[in-house]
Amino acid sequence: MRPEGTVEYNSLSWVKKQLDTVLSDAQSVLSEFIENNDDTDSLEQCIDHLRLVYGTLQMVEVYGAAMLAEEMEATAQALLDGKVEKPEDAFDVLMRAMLQLPDYLEGLQAGNKDAPIVLMPLMNDLRAARKEKLLSESVLFLPDIDVVEATVPAPESEVTEAGKLAGEAKRLRTHY
């Protein structure tokens, strides 16, 4: 766990086992659908499981994993609606996502930062299966701006005398 014990990591530890169980159930019903494409009830159950995972991750404020779960749900829904041109590719990437999400959550519990950019290739694979526009790094880049502090040297005098502004600007230029 993270040393500072933030809320999202503590909350994640409360629901991690249930999330693993729900993801395992989603995998099994997706496998049933892959074996028998006529059984849409299995795919609907998979979508329900993924919706539960998404909602839980949103609730515990693990947004990177929640974004992945949302993409997984959207891909499963597109499969159900028949909007996927290559269902085999979508099945493959959905299974990969269901296997990678628990590992990502374990990493968070081990102290890693929730970084959606790590999941971007997988999310883009899910989006590509649906022929959606791919995500760019700028969408997922979330720097921690609270850490950055401005280090501006304090002025030596409150008022710069007339005519000395240019000299003062040259002196301060090296600080910037």
3 state SS of 5: coil
Mean pLDDT computed over 58-63: 91
| Cα 28 off chain centre by | 24
What is the DSSP code (8-state) at residue 159? S
Residues 6+ apart with CB under 8 A from 42: 29, 30, 32, 33, 36
pLDDT, tens digit, 9 for 90 and up, residues 13-55? 889 999 999 999 999 999 999 998 888 999 999 999 999 999 9
